[in-house]
Amino acid sequence: MSTKPIRVWLAPPGPNPWKVILVLEELQIPYEIVSIKFEDIKAKPFIDLNPNGRVPAIEDPNTGLVLWETGAVILYLVEQYDVVKKLTYGTVQEKSHVQQWLMFQISGQGPYYGQGSWFHVLHSEKLPSAINRYVEEAKRICGVLEQGLTDKRWLVGDKITLADLAFVPWNDRLDVVLMCPAECKFNDFPRVKAWHESMVARPSWEKAMENGMPKQVSNMEEYLAKIKVKKNTRAEAEGS
Ligand SMILES: N[C@@H](CCC(=O)N[C@@H](CS)C(=O)NCC(=O)O)C(=O)O
């Protein structure tokens, strides 16, 4: 029986949904995107799927499951569709390590980088102490990853897993959090740099950018340039 496409709700260009697209692409699971505007995230119909009003959420017509929270979603996709265990392991020890790194991504990297971007880009006041806290936390998290990649190409065992993929979207935005040029973001973390670059070179990342970005935008640089133009145009129109 053929697999019906999984519906992925996202709001470009938020990075969390890209984690789900990466896993869907790596496992070659058919999917379709429902793209909503950021201002509609806390409104119906989306909150009927996810009362937390955050993207992504998925609807799987093959099983009837509605699911939100990226960690739960990618674990589900692997459990349900990754029969050959391409992105995980069958052994308890290795599977637990995959889960450990995934939890670290969800509770560490995601929130700290997210708050860093918030205080740096979106918050109405510039609060140096808050900005500094998240810059330092982001560096600390990269340090943990650098350590975790000692003598290893992947976080767990000898192959890429869902744990490695989960870190890609936010690491791609590390320069925004650290407020540095994109080419310098991994300067103190050579193993993280090599690991990240090997993953963004995969076709799955290209697809995540193609499907998870606003139309006519294919990468973060283009998106930031577009936002900047928009901001400047608005400022000019408002005479500031
Ligand atoms: N822990 C959630 C985080 C999801 C999340 O924060 N998504 C962002 C977009 S990348 C969002 O929906 N933000 C909307 C908001 O903060 O109101 C997950 O892993 O799914």
What residues line ligand 1, using a CB cutoff of 6 Å?
14-16, 41, 54-55, 69-70, 106, 110
Segments forming the whole domain that contains residue 59: 6-86
Last-in-domain residue among 30, 62, 86: 86
User: Which residue's CA is the nearest one to ligand 1's atom 5?
Assistant: 54
- 97 and 190 together in one domain: yes
- 76 and 106 together in one domain: no
User: Which residue's CA is the nearest one to ligand 1's atom 17?
Assistant: 54
Ligand 1: residue of 8, 9, 37, 54 to mutate (most ligand atoms within 8 A of CB) is 54
- 40 and 97 together in one domain: no
Phi, psi of 201, deg, nearest 5: -85, -5
User: Which residue's CA is the nearest one to ligand 1's atom 2?
Assistant: 69
Ligand 1: residue of 16, 21, 74 to mutate (most ligand atoms within 8 A of CB) is 16
For tokens 């979106």, the residue is 122
Q: What is the CATH number of the domain that holds 152?
A: 1.20.1050.10
Alpha-carbon gap, residue 5 to 38, rounded angstroms: 24
pLDDT for res 232: 55
Q: What is the CATH number of the domain that holds 27?
A: 3.40.30.10
User: Which residue's CA is the nearest one to ligand 1's atom 10?
Assistant: 14
pLDDT for res 228: 58
Report residues of the chain scoring pLDDT below 50. 234, 237-240
Q: Which residues pair with 68 in a beta bridge?
A: 57
pLDDT for res 170: 97
Q: What is the 3-state secondary structure (H, E, C) of the chain?
A: CCCCCEEEEECCCCCHHHHHHHHHHHCCCCEEEEECCHHHCCCCCHHHHCCCCCCCEEEECCCCEEEECHHHHHHHHHHHHCCCCCCCCCCHHHHHHHHHHHHHHHHHHHHHHHHHHHHHHHCCCCCHHHHHHHHHHHHHHHHHHHHHCCCCCCCCCCCCCHHHHHHHHHHCCHHHHHCCCHHHCCCCCHHHHHHHHHHHCCHHHHHHHHHHCCCCCCCHHHHHHHHHHHHHHHHHHCCC
Q: Domain for residue 216, yes or no? A: no
If one counts the domains in the chain, the total is: 2
- 77 and 104 together in one domain: no
Q: Domain for residue 240, yes or no? A: no
Spacing, Cα 49 to ligand 1 middle (Å): 14
Spacing, Cα 239 to ligand 1 middle (Å): 33
